[in-house]
Amino acid sequence: MNYIVFDLEWNQSPGGRYRENPKIPFEILEIGALKLNARRRIIGEFHETIKPLVYRTMNRHTQAVVHMDMEALRQSRTFSPVARSFLEWCGEDYIFVSWGPSDLFELQRNLDYYHIQYRFPKPLLYYDLQKLYSLENLDGKKRPALQEAVEAMGIAQTRRFHAAFDDAWYTAKIMQNMNFKSVQEYKSVDYYHLPESKEEEIYLDFKTYSKYVSMSYPDKETALKDKTVTAIGCNRCNLPVIPRIKWFAGSGGNMYYALVQCPRHGYVKGKIRIRKAQGDEIYIVKTIKPATEADVEDLQSRKAAVKERRHKKLEKEKERKKLKREKTAAATHTPVIGRRGIGRRKKNAQTGEEQAPQA
């Protein structure tokens, strides 16, 4: 199998968000790629610039970064023929490699915009070299710029940055120079085409963790009601686990955490990320991995913090309501009536039923 190490340059609406075409917020202007064989030797090159059809002038932020001018681009072929040549050049048996996840996403969005047929596997797995580099050299979470990695690896900077072919070339050099085999297992899943049904949902098992990607849901409440979304077991065996901390929301509301205990492998933690799909829908990425003692403590304190925050919020709300009541009372010169008194006697206008006192 070959590796297609590629990089794209794109333009965005020169008139800002307000003038952008939501079907193609980033218009690809250049494709640069190198083909590497299974031994990571370069066996082919692809490079072509593209004549833009959507945004005819450069966004000033784009202009500041890329080395392209519109005059020259107008001499190029349009996206459709270039993309077809590129896909043909890729061949049959290959896996994409890119620095970060966005190039593969935007490539597909541009292909769809121009109704170009392509048959990528489903799920589409690829190598995010930025992530692999981080796993090997950093904490696995940081996402360094390409130039940073090039510098750290002592690769001679004989080319420019932010030019598609040169960036692809640097990415290939990093891939050749790093201990690729040690992280080769950690393929990424492309999120452009999400699973369309429960049957298509994605389950990946790695040495150190497992990953689940759901279909899309109208909202997170619906998603969290789905038992497959919240299921959590040991990532190394099928023994029944003991629940330790039930799923609870992190501070932003887009992350959920849980802890269970496997009788054989010890603590196992789960993390649910709520991610935005196309339109208003959302989908779930869940990871399950062994938890260390420090992880357990961290989860416990995080849960306590959430509880504390909720408690404070409630207290504040109570205080605010009390003040409001006192203010209204003062304004109308009526004596302050206890909450209980109001709640008990208030009748529902529609049903005539007595309402339960509020909290």
Interacting residue ranges for Zn ion, rule: CB under 5 A: 234, 236-237, 262, 264-265
Nearer to Zn ion, 114 or 203 (CB): 203
Other beta carbons within 10 angstroms of residue 264's beta carbon come to 9
Nearer to Zn ion, 135 or 262 (CB): 262
Rounded Cα distance between 213 and 69, Å, is: 40
Nearer to Zn ion, 132 or 241 (CB): 241
- List of residues 6+ apart from 310 with CB closer than 8 A: none
Per the CB < 8 A criterion, the answer to whether 43 and 89 are in contact is no
Rounded Cα distance between 7 and 103, Å, is: 6
In whole angstroms, what separates CA 180 from the centre of its chain?
23
Per the CB < 8 A criterion, the answer to whether 322 and 315 are in contact is no
Nearer to Zn ion, 213 or 268 (CB): 268
Nearest-approach distance from CB 270 to Zn ion, in angstroms: 14
Nearest-approach distance from CB 260 to Zn ion, in angstroms: 10
Nearer to Zn ion, 72 or 239 (CB): 239
Nearest-approach distance from CB 287 to Zn ion, in angstroms: 16
Nearer to Zn ion, 236 or 286 (CB): 236
- List of residues 6+ apart from 49 with CB closer than 8 A: 29, 30, 68, 72, 73, 76
Nearest-approach distance from CB 266 to Zn ion, in angstroms: 8
Nearest-approach distance from CB 255 to Zn ion, in angstroms: 24
Residue type, 255: M
- For residue 226 the two structure tokens come to 């789905």
Strand partners, 137: none
Nearest-approach distance from CB 128 to Zn ion, in angstroms: 28
Other beta carbons within 10 angstroms of residue 226's beta carbon come to 14
Cα-based torsion angle of the residue sequence 101, 102, 103, 108 in order, rounded to the nearest 10 degrees: 100
Report the relative pairing of strands 2-12 and 26-36 from DSSP bridges: antiparallel
Nearest-approach distance from CB 204 to Zn ion, in angstroms: 18
Nearer to Zn ion, 53 or 237 (CB): 237
